[in-house]
Amino acid sequence: MRLSKLSLTLLTLIALSLILTSALSAEPCDCRPGDANSDGDKNVADVVYIIESLFKWGPAPTPYPVCSADANNDGRWNAGDAIHLINYVFKHGPRPPTCEEWVETWGDYH
Ligand SMILES: [Ca+2]
Ligand SMILES: [Ca+2]
């Protein structure tokens, strides 16, 4: 069976529209590792938030407890994340991972 140029063009357009549709409908990566209080910044307030959540029965990091707290990208929410943030904020230490980096390492955060 031989495809005409018109058929080939139509198939190409359909394939492109399917690719674009799936790319546009994908959910944005909305977890910000290190932004434990979900205010858009990564700073000392997040350090306090993580410490209070761990040791003073404060609210869990939000909106996704592990991903939002995991500044050191080890897949866990613990004091190491507060230490990592202190180094990042005050000593120009390594930045927390991006959402995409976290998801690539640990999978879905929902
Ligand atoms: Ca924050
Ligand atoms: Ca961690």
Q: Which two tokens stand for residue 61?
A: 């990091």
What pLDDT shows up at residue 71?
A: 98
Residue 77's Cβ-side half-sphere holds a number of Cα atoms within 13 Å equal to 24
Provide the percentage of residues in the chain whose pLDDT is more than 70: 81
Q: Which two tokens stand for residue 38?
A: 């979900």
Report the distance separating Cα 69 and Cα 46, nearest Å.
8
User: Does 99 reside within a domain?
Assistant: yes
What pLDDT shows up at residue 28?
A: 85
What are the residue ranges in the chain where pLDDT is below 50?
none
Sort 77 into a burial class: Cβ within 10 Å, 0-12 / 13-18 / 19+.
Answer: buried
Q: What is the pTM of this model?
A: 0.76
Ligand nearest to the CA of 48: 1
Ligand 2 centre from 18 Cα, in Å?
37
Ligand nearest to the CA of 69: 2
User: Does 12 reside within a domain?
Assistant: no
User: Does 57 reside within a domain?
Assistant: yes
Enumerate helices (H) and strands (E) in the chain, giving the number of each.
5, 0
SS3 73: coil
User: Does 72 reside within a domain?
Assistant: yes
Ligand 1 centre from 35 Cα, in Å?
4
What pLDDT shows up at residue 110?
A: 82
Ligand 1 centre from 104 Cα, in Å?
22
Residue 53 belongs to what domain range? 44-106
Residue list, CB under 5 A from ion ligand 1: 35, 37, 39, 41, 46
Ligand 2 centre from 54 Cα, in Å?
12
User: Does 10 reside within a domain?
Assistant: no
User: Does 80 reside within a domain?
Assistant: yes
The domain total for the chain is: 1
User: Does 88 reside within a domain?
Assistant: yes
User: Does 50 reside within a domain?
Assistant: yes
